[in-house]
Chains A and B, each alone.
Chain A
C-alpha cells in the first residue's frame, strides 16, 4: 500500500518551531492537497516528506516503511517544483531521462520510457527542444514527465501551477487531474490557491501557522468549515462574516445584529447557546437577492458595485457598514440585480461560529 503516514511531524529552525506536529494519513492512490496562506508550513511539510528538509521530530512512513532518515533518492518519491527545475542545457528527452541515466538504466529502458512519457503528456514533437524554446505549459508538462518517468510510489507537487497565467493554470489543473486518474499514483499537492485545492483534491488539508485546521473532502470543507479560518479561506469570494448574538425569537433562536435579525436552525445546541456572542458565516452564493428590503426576513444592504463576470455577478454591498458580497446568476436577472436592496438566506445555509473561539457551534451539518 503506497500510502504516506505523518505522525506528529515537527520542524524547527534553531529555536523557532514552524511545523507543530502534523498528523495525516494519505491513502494509496489518494490526491491530497495541502492548502494555506504563505508561511503556514505546507511547503516545509512537503519538503520533509521529500527528504529535502530534516524532520525535527515525529515519524514519517511511506508505503509502510519508516523513512525519517532515508535519503530523498531512496524514498521512491518524485517531486514537481514550482519553478520546474528543468535543466536548461538539456533537451526535453534528456531532462525526462535525467533520473534514469543517474540510476544507470539501460538505453532500451530509457528510450522506451521517454517515448511512453512523451505520448502520455503530448510532448513527442518537442523531445529535441531545450526548455527555453518551450511555452510555460509545455515546461510544466516536462517537469511532470520527469517525475512520472521514474514510476515513483508518491508524487509531490510544490505549487506547480503558480508560475502560469490564469488560462493555462485552468488547463494544466485538468491535465494533472486526468494524469492522476490515469496513473493512480498517491499524490500530495501544495498550493495557496483554494480553487486548485477544491478542483484537484480527493481530500483537502487546510493548514495555518504550522498546524492542520481541518481535513476533509472539498465539499465537506466548503459546507462545514470547523472554524472561521477555514470558512474564510475556502470559497471565492470568501464567506461573509457578521458579528451577532443569539437571542430567543418567536419561532426559535435568532441571530441579532443591531436592529436586524436572521432566523437560525432550531436545534438544542442553538437553543443552549442563546445569549452567546457569535459570528455568522454566510456564503455569497447561498443568499437570495431581493428588490424589496422591507419584506419580512429580508436583510437590507447598500449596493456599492456590481462586477459582471458573464453568467454570474459579484455584488459588493455593505451591511451595517461592513462589506458583504453576494454572488448571483445574471441570465435574465440583470434587472433584479440592478435593483437589489436586500437579501434573505435559509437558516440551514447559515454557519454559526463562537465569536470568542472562532470554532463552529456543534451539530451543524450542511448536507452535500
Chain B
C-alpha cells in the first residue's frame, strides 16, 4: 500500500469506491451460486422452511440421488451435450468462412453484405414467423433443427471479421505468392493466426448453446430430444403440480426445491469446469477488433 502515497486524495477515494462497487457486484453474482449449491445439499424440510441462507442445513445428498436416478435427466443431459458440441461446430463452420469473406476488401458488394449481417443483430422475424418457418422446413422436434437453426449469429461474424481485418495484409499476400488459394489462405494462415478469436467465438457459442432454453422449449415436444434446461423447466412447472411427487416428498429427505437446485448445479458444472481454461479468451474477446496491432 506504500504506492498509495503516489495517489492524490481524489484518486484514493476513486480506488476505494471502485473496490466497494466491485465487491458488491462480485457478491451479487456469487451469492446465487452459493445459495443454489447450499440448497441442493440441504434437507427438503429445511429448504421448504426457508432456513437455508448461506450454508447447507442438515447436510444430505438425497436430492442428487433422486436427480441422478432419473433416466430423463441423463437423456436431456446427453441432448445438451449433442446440441452444444455439434451446434458449436456447425456455427464455426458458417461463421469462420462468413467472417473471412466479409473481411476481404475484394468482396463484391462488401458494404451491402456487411450491413445485411449487421442488420440481423438488431432485427429478426420474431417468434411466430420463425416457428412457422421451422415447421415448414420440417425442422420441428429434430436435433438437426436446433443445430442448424441457430448456427449463424451476426454478432459473432462481425467479431471475427474485425479480427481478420486486423491481420496484416502481407500474410495473405505472402501466402498468395507462395501459391495458396483462397481456401488455403483461410485454413493455413488466417485460422491459425486467429486462434484466440476463434476460441472466443467458440466459447460464446458453447455458452449460448448450453444455456439455450427458449427455442428448445418452443421447437421440441419429444421428451427424448429436450435439453437439460427444458427438462429443468419440466421439473419446476410440472412436478409442482404432480400429486404423486408431492406425496413422495412427505417421506423423503429431498424436496421440490432441493431437486431443482441439484439439477441446476449439475447443469452448471460442465461450464464451470471449462471456464477457467477459456476465461482469458472471454476478456480478449471483448477487446477484439478494438485495437489494431
Residues of A within 8 A of B (CB): 50-52, 71-73, 77-79, 81-83, 85, 87-90, 98-99, 102-103, 146, 150
Contact = CB atoms under 8 A, between A and B. Distances in A.
A150 B178 contact: yes
A102 B184 contact: yes
12 contacts: A50-B173, A50-B177, A52-B176, A73-B179, A77-B177, A81-B170, A81-B173, A82-B170, A85-B173, A89-B195, A98-B175, A103-B179
B148 interface: no
B264 interface: no
Nearest to A50: B177
A102 B180 contact: yes
Contacts of A79: 173-174, 177
Contacts of A146: 174, 178
B167 to A, nearest CB: 10
Contacts of B188: 98, 102
Contacts of A103: 178-179
A85 B178 contact: no
Contacts of B276: none
B179 A83 contact: no
Determine the main DSSP class of A at the interface with B. Answer: loop
B174 to A, nearest CB: 4
A98 B170 contact: no
A85 B176 contact: no
B192 A87 contact: yes
Interface in B183-212: 184, 188-189, 192-193, 195
B171 A87 contact: yes
A98 B188 CA distance: 9
A50 B193 CA distance: 24
A206 to B, nearest CB: 25
A90 B180 CA distance: 16
Given A72-B177, A79-B177, A99-B178, A85 B184 contact: no
B174 A102 contact: no
**Of A51, A73, A85, A89, which is in contact with the most chain B CB atoms at under 10 Å from its CB?**
A85
A98 B178 contact: yes
A256 to B, nearest CB: 53
B109 interface: no
B192 A85 contact: no
Contact of A88 (B176, B184, B193): B193
A106 to B, nearest CB: 16
A87 B184 CA distance: 14
B168 interface: yes
A89 B192 contact: yes
Contacts of A87: 171, 189, 192-193
Contact of B168 (A52, A85, A98): A85
Contact of B171 (A73, A77, A85): A85
B164 to A, nearest CB: 15
A83 B168 contact: yes
B177 A78 contact: yes
B196 to A, nearest CB: 12
B8 to A, nearest CB: 40
The 6 closest A-B pairs by CB, nearest first: A99-B178, A73-B179, A85-B174, A85-B170, A89-B192, A81-B170
B176 A73 contact: yes
**Of B168, B170, B171, B177, which is in contact with the most chain A CB atoms at under 10 Å from its CB?**
B177
A73 B178 contact: yes
Contact of B193 (A52, A72, A89, A102): A89
B170 A72 contact: no
A98 B178 CA distance: 7
Interface in B6-48: none
Contacts of B173: 50, 52, 72, 79, 81, 85
B43 to A, nearest CB: 54
A85 B192 CA distance: 14
Given A87-B189, A88-B193, A72 B171 contact: no
A72 to B, nearest CB: 5
**Of A102, A103, A146, which is in contact with the most chain B CB atoms at under 10 Å from its CB?**
A102
Given A87-B192, A146-B178, 14 more contacts: A52-B173, A52-B177, A73-B176, A73-B178, A79-B174, A83-B168, A85-B171, A85-B173, A87-B171, A88-B193, A89-B192, A102-B175, A102-B180, A102-B188
Contacts of B193: 87-89
A352 B174 CA distance: 45
A44 B7 CA distance: 52
Nearest to B192: A89
B191 to A, nearest CB: 9
A72 B176 contact: yes
A78 B175 CA distance: 11
A73 B177 contact: yes
A252 to B, nearest CB: 56
Nearest to A99: B178
A113 to B, nearest CB: 13
A98 B180 CA distance: 9
B193 to A, nearest CB: 7
B107 to A, nearest CB: 16
A87 to B, nearest CB: 6
Interface string B235-247: 0000000000000
Nearest to B171: A85
A297 to B, nearest CB: 55
A146 B176 CA distance: 13
Nearest to A149: B178
B171 A102 contact: no
Nearest to B177: A72
A5 to B, nearest CB: 20
A52 B170 CA distance: 10
Contacts of B179: 73, 99, 102-103
A323 B38 CA distance: 84
**Of A52, A78, A146, which is in contact with the most chain B CB atoms at under 10 Å from its CB?**
A52
Nearest to B176: A72
B175 to A, nearest CB: 7
A87 B171 CA distance: 7
Nearest to A81: B170
